[in-house]
Amino acid sequence: MAAGVRTMVEGVSSVQAGEQARVRIGVVGCGGRAGAHLRALQRHPEAEIVAVADVAESAAAKAGEALGVPHYTDHRALLARDDLDAVWISVPVFAHGALELAVIERGLPFFVEKPVARDLETALRISAALDRAGLWAAAGYQLRYGEGVRRARAYVAGRTVALVEGHYWSGTGRHGGWVADFDRGGGQLVEQATHTVDLMRYIAGEVAEVYARQTTRVLREITAPDTYTVSLRFSSGALGTLSASWVHDPDDWAHANVLHFGLDGCLVRIAGQAAELLPASAGALPEVESIPGLHGAFLAAVRDRAALPGVLSPYRDAVATLAVSLAANASAAMGRPVSPLSSA
């Protein structure tokens, strides 16, 4: 079929590009993080960005003009288009809720950046609306797709985990803005170390209880704490410890999202994209099959109308990760252990 010819396949329209149907995407949120998504989607042979939206006219116009597509300042105008197969959402933590519910109302699957909301009630409302509509959504925990993480997960599966250690030390809070504002961003555990929490859950299973402390020692100008420690108890019985701090050098990312899984006689270490089994005499992590990355997995799921198993971070699962961070925030505020499972 000639490029650019629209077809209706079982009620879902798509644009044919040679042999391959391209998934037509509307992008909502054109800020810092969206830049990488727009580039990845633009060069992906299975994607076509048809329109963009951002509440900031300048951000919407810049992205729309760069891509040569219409731009809007209201997501409802974008959703009124009749040529969308899916929506790609990359808005700040505080901006979730009505947006996702409108996408669901429009009957479209969506991708949404992590964390999926600032509060659990909003996330659960969206999750329930997805279920009611028979729709699915993918969250932006892109580290799950990395080969090192998947090799680590394959090794740990079926083995007894005694201890999980993770830390996320960065200088991000120094940049201020909504990220460093507790009410809008939720603090480092919600906005940033959520990646560490998510990998803990992805590899070691559910977290049954957290007991957290928070302090501000250096960044007194921001409204979020600059340092956290969290003690975790996993449903398996394993124990965990997580530390997060924003007082670090903002140019040093070597201590951001580093995890250790303590097993019988060895440990698995994840740092950035790399994973290793230590000591070397313990052998090697297993090989894993190559899979599409975050963008490819989403596009394939839209095309095939099946989120699983390609989408490694489904919305409901991302809600459970959010629940752990929020439980840690609550624990730090109340000074007692909190169960994330009681509310997720």
Ligand X SMILES: NC(=O)c1ccc[n+]([C@@H]2O[C@H](COP(=O)([O-])OP(=O)(O)OC[C@H]3O[C@@H](n4cnc5c(N)ncnc54)[C@H](O)[C@@H]3O)[C@@H](O)[C@H]2O)c1
Contacts with ligand X by CB under 6 A lie at: 28-34, 53-56, 59, 75, 90-93, 95, 99, 113-114, 140, 142, 191
Nearest distance, CB of residue 194 and ligand X, angstroms: 8
Please identify, using beta-carbon distances, which residue of 31 and 171 lies nearer to ligand X.
31
Please identify, using beta-carbon distances, which residue of 186 and 225 lies nearer to ligand X.
186
How many residues are present in the chain?
Answer: 344
Please identify, using beta-carbon distances, which residue of 244 and 263 lies nearer to ligand X.
244
Please identify, using beta-carbon distances, which residue of 6 and 178 lies nearer to ligand X.
178
**d(Cα 30, Cα 38) in Å, to the nearest integer?**
8
Please identify, using beta-carbon distances, which residue of 21 and 59 lies nearer to ligand X.
59
**d(Cα 344, Cα 322) in Å, to the nearest integer?**
9
Nearest distance, CB of residue 233 and ligand X, angstroms: 27
Nearest distance, CB of residue 144 and ligand X, angstroms: 11
| Residue type, position 185, single letter | G
Alpha-carbon Rg of the chain, whole angstroms?
21
Cβ atoms of residues 209 and 233 within 8 Å: yes
Please identify, using beta-carbon distances, which residue of 140 and 166 lies nearer to ligand X.
140
Please identify, using beta-carbon distances, which residue of 33 and 81 lies nearer to ligand X.
33
Nearest distance, CB of residue 36 and ligand X, angstroms: 8
User: Angle, to 10 degrees, between the axis of helix 32-43 and the axis of helix 57-67?
Assistant: 20
Nearest distance, CB of residue 246 and ligand X, angstroms: 14
Nearest distance, CB of residue 84 and ligand X, angstroms: 15
Nearest distance, CB of residue 130 and ligand X, angstroms: 18
Nearest distance, CB of residue 281 and ligand X, angstroms: 34
Nearest distance, CB of residue 196 and ligand X, angstroms: 12
3-class SS letters over the chain: CCCCCEEEECCEEEEEECCEEEEEEEEECCCHHHHHHHHHHHHCCCEEEEEEECCCHHHHHHHHHHHCCCEECCHHHHHCCCCCCEEEECCCHHHCCHHHHHHHHCCCCEEECCCCCCCHHHHHHHHHHHHHHCCCEEECCHHHHCHHHHHHHHHHCCCCCCEEEEEEECCHHHHCCHHHCHHHHCCHHHHCCHHHHHHHHHHHCCEEEEEEEEECCCCCCCCCCCEEEEEEEECCCCEEEEEEECCCCCCCCCCCCEEEEEECCEEEEEECCEEEEECHHHCCCCCCCCCCCHHHHHHHHHHHCCCCCCCCCEHHHHHHHHHHHHHHHHHHHHCCCECHHHCC
Please identify, using beta-carbon distances, which residue of 85 and 191 lies nearer to ligand X.
191
Please identify, using beta-carbon distances, which residue of 54 and 226 lies nearer to ligand X.
54
